[in-house]
Structure 1
Amino acid sequence: MILREIKRLGFTHRIGAKQMHLFALGIFMSFFVSQSASAQDGQFWGEFRPGYMWNDKWVGQLGVGYRQFYGSQEWHRYYVHPMVRYNVSKRWNIRAGLNTIYNTYQKEQNHLEIRPYLGVGLKWPIIEWMDVNHYARVEERISRYSEEAATELVTRGRYKVDTRIPLWRISKENLYFLMAYGELFFNMGGEADEVFRNRNRFGAGIGMVSKSKWSYTLLFNYQKTRQATDGEFDRHDFFTQIRIAYTWKKKTKE
């Protein structure tokens, strides 16, 4: 729908609607800034996501990213994440991927994890002025710590819902949008032996998509985590996420 808006309009929302969107974003950013000072850990996430579209059905992507967790226990994450998506219809899609992650810790053993997964996406409900996307997946977490011989295997489920609302156009090429999401994590037999573990995650931010195949997203996120393997979910983390994507399209014969 976002790309359709680029083709269809020089964005025509009334100024009052645009101000309302910006006001909502301003409230969230003010909340993020006010809470960051008291957050127990700070984080930064960055990702570059090149992709290739063979046709309207098949899309491939390769996510390359870095995450920094700083505060009481600083650690770093590096990952490579190839993924293929098949669009069954305008509403449904199927995704499969392999996420390879390497974590380095100050006070803990380094950690390698491989996550093959299979997921399904759904656009619902269909609303003219916004996108609403649901995504559920099951992933196998194959992990090993650097000083241990044993390899751990745990199955985890994830469910995410996100929305995108067009804000305004500044040219014929570029459209800005407001987005928000929520994501839940749940184990499906067993529990990973990990220092930190996510329980839920929420975020909101602003993005830009263009006809030049580039897109940029800036998100401000909150998640509830625990600090120790057997600890309670008593950590409240706020963090910034930057994502840059570029998609090549296969040229069609005229």
Structure 2
Amino acid sequence: MGQGVGHGAGRVAGVLALAWLLIGPAAATAQTDVQLWSNLTFDWAKSARLVYELDVEPKVLVKKPEGEPGWRNVDLTPNVEYSPTGWFDLVGEATVGYTRQTDEVHSFEVSPRVGIRFHFLSRYVDAVVRKREMSPNRRLVVRDLMRVESRNLFYGGAGSGTDSSWRFRNRIEVLLPLNGPTLAGDRVLYALSDWEWFVPIDEPDERFANRHRVRAGFGYRRTASWRYEFLYMWTRSRNTIEDGFETSDNIIDFRVKRVF
């Protein structure tokens, strides 16, 4: 088992290294910060093809660049996924969020999204792997999630006005079990990594709408009903495609998923 774990960790490290090379090094002048995120996710598997989800995600800035304000945020995201075939899923979701940007300014966000997820090697959906027929038949899981979102921000307090924009997002995901043949068993430790980029379709007033994000970490599938993940995320942002990257975020994220 030790040799399998070593090979698995090596593969995930290789994927992460490739993603890092693709997005390039962060700009030396970029402002950096440290954030803490957490996710509590509830999944309801109505059938082998249909899954409902609700994600609760609080976030807080714990270390900020000098002269920048602190902030805190909470997002609620209901989600529905339907799988017409074994190789792609249709995804619909909407984030409703509140952000305390400064002591005087706060904002509300309503951002619906639609998209499609492609499964390249085998189909793995967290909420339905309890069903034998939906279990992945390969160790390595590779999938691609493409979404289009409408972002709508409403400012209050000392701030005022609204901001609406459209943005395309694409996330390539890799998962690999470290102590079992597939991701479908109990007490499975697995590694995961993904690379996502955010591209505005129009020219929003919001700063840093154009982003790259890399995530890597480990998960533990205790049973079909409970899952835990610990991730490190690195995000860099810029105003437009032509501009240099102006911010670099270091994020620690702990996630718990309950499947019904």
**Band of TM-score, shorter chain:** 0.7 to 0.9
2:158 paired with 1:152: no
Residue 42 (structure 1) shift: 0.4
Aligned position for 1:93: 89
CA distance in 1, matches of 2:41, 2:147: 20
- Paired residues of 2:187 and 2:220 also in contact (CA < 8 A): yes
CA distance in 2, matches of 1:47, 1:156: 23
Judge which range, 146-155 or 45-54, deviates more: 146-155
Aligned position for 1:130: 140
2:235 paired with 1:223: yes
SS of 1:40's equivalent? strand
Amino acid at match of 2:40: F
SS of 1:168's equivalent? coil
Aligned position for 1:64: 56
Q: Of residues 24, 34, 47 in structure 1, which corresponds to 2:39? A: 47
CA gap 1:25/1:121 in 2 versus in 1, 3 angstroms: closer
Amino acid at match of 2:77: H
Aligned position for 1:3: none
- Paired residues of 2:191 and 2:217 also in contact (CA < 8 A): yes
2:30 paired with 1:18: no
Aligned position for 1:188: 201
Residue 23 (structure 1) shift: 6.2
SS of 1:164's equivalent? strand
Residue 203 (structure 1) shift: 1.1
Give the TM-score normalised by the residue count of structure 2. Answer: 0.77
Q: Which aligned segments of 4 or more residues in structure 1 are displaced greater than 6 angstroms? A: 23-28
Q: Of residues 100, 114, 118 in structure 1, which corresponds to 2:110? A: 114
How many equivalent pairs are there? 222
CA distance in 1, matches of 2:197, 2:103: 28
- Paired residues of 1:39 and 1:238 also in contact (CA < 8 A): no
CA gap 1:148/1:135 in 2 versus in 1, 3 angstroms: same
CA gap 1:149/1:135 in 2 versus in 1, 3 angstroms: same
SS of 1:110's equivalent? strand
Q: Which runs of 5+ in 2 are unaligned?
A: 17-29, 123-136
Identity of aligned residues (%): 19
- Paired residues of 2:61 and 2:70 also in contact (CA < 8 A): yes
CA distance in 1, matches of 2:250, 2:196: 15
Aligned position for 2:259: 247
CA distance in 2, matches of 1:123, 1:16: 27
CA gap 1:82/1:89 in 2 versus in 1, 3 angstroms: same
Give the TM-score normalised by the residue count of structure 1. Answer: 0.78
